[in-house]
Amino acid sequence: MARDAAATKARILQAAVTEFAAVGLAGGRVDRIAAAAAADKKLIYNYFTDKTTLFDAALQHALAQLVATVPIDEADLPGYAGRLFDYVIEHPHAHRLAMWRRLERPDAGPDDGRIYSEKVIAMLSGPPDRHQHPIPPVDLLVLVQAMAGAWSISPVQLLAADGSDPAAKSRLAEHRDALVTAVRRLIDPAT
Amino acid sequence: MARDAAATKARILQAAVTEFAAVGLAGGRVDRIAAAAAADKKLIYNYFTDKTTLFDAALQHALAQLVATVPIDEADLPGYAGRLFDYVIEHPHAHRLAMWRRLERPDAGPDDGRIYSEKVIAMLSGPPDRHQHPIPPVDLLVLVQAMAGAWSISPVQLLAADGSDPAAKSRLAEHRDALVTAVRRLIDPAT
């Protein structure tokens, strides 16, 4: 019974991730989530209170998947950036959900980022040599994450500025290389 | 009469920028835009065909204002990044509209970026020494723009990771400094 409940909750969360990533909080329909999860709508409200709470849970779920698959690696930020680039292109849900949240709830509190807080706190109180880096650890992380997701939110024209297919594998590989090089230069100017 | 029409169009565009930046394309209401612009709804459709076309015109309008205020300065990308950071925080409309577009119309064509194309083409065919930089010009521009807007789309928790008010002027100044330093290191590893 408890296992059934957990399985149902997981199905609801996955359906919520798909629905909200596609159309956002305002556009998301609990009816569609219930249908996709083969779950009763009343049960969804029973588990998640209301649509906004379900949205936050979906965002947490997607971010947890992202962080589990691509853990922040302070010792290898260029490699981390490359892996994050790959993940965001193949699994855009977490990135899209985070953008919807910033757009639709600009005044919402800091709860959506608690997935990062432990890691960030560790970085903030990290090894002393890191503190001597001209860029503070939190800024470094924010800048690296922004660069890793850059191609998924940039004006489309830039993607096709040279006239080639921006989604072509070879173009993506070039952008990934440029990203990793950029992060390497941020970390260690001698490279 | 032509001047009246131009003034009315400008009022409609400004109202459309405000409306769509706040709630996006799906959530935006032409009724509210008409009321805010003190313009007839039929006139809006007469000028802009439909809501989607009006949204695109609003995005173009906001991007044009951004580019006019903060022109891309290839010779001083760190300074450009700092100015873009200031602009996005003080005038988030263009950035928000661009994000709405990517979220709500992921398959839309490249027309929303034509404001950049001339500049990008100039950079692509720029001075030879730029071509020897390990990061291609288009990647450099995309990465710099992503970093400049990073704090406006990052998980809120990161902003408050040290417990201070993320919107505090002193914190913003620190983030701006870190950004300018980061871009300087991208450009010239000796700094």
Note the pTM of the prediction, 2 decimals: 0.85
pLDDT-derived band at A69 (thresholds 50, 70, 90) equals very high
pLDDT per residue as tens digits for the range A12-36: 999 999 999 999 999 999 999 999 9
For residues A157-171, average pLDDT: 54
Task: Report the mean per-residue pLDDT for chain B.
Answer: 82
- Record: contact A134-B100, CB cut-off 8 A: no
Interface residue A122 vs chain B (CB under 8 A): no
Chain B neighbors of A152, CB-CB under 8 A = 102
Q: Which residues of A touch B157 (CB under 8 A)?
A: 110-114, 116-117, 120
Instruction: Show the tokens assigned to B41.
Output: 């709804």
Q: Which residues of B touch A113 (CB under 8 A)?
A: 154-158
State yes or no: pLDDT of A46 exceeds 90: yes
Taking contacts as CB-CB distances below 8 angstroms, the residues of chain B near A124 are: 161-162
- Long-range contacts formed by A80-84: CB under 8 A, 24+ apart: A80/A144, A81/A144, A81/A147, A81/A148, A81/A179, A81/A180, A81/A183, A82/A148, A82/A176, A82/A179, A82/A180, A84/A144, A84/A145, A84/A148, A84/A149
What are the pLDDT digits (tens) for A77-119? 999 999 999 998 888 899 899 889 989 987 665 544 455 556 5
Q: Is A155's Cβ below 8 Å from some Cβ in B?
A: yes
Contact A55, A62 (CB under 8 A): no
- Residue A172, chain B, CB below 8 Å: the answer is no
ipTM over 0.85: no
pLDDT-derived band at B140 (thresholds 50, 70, 90) equals confident
Interfacial A residues in 25-84 facing B (CB < 8 Å): 26-27, 63
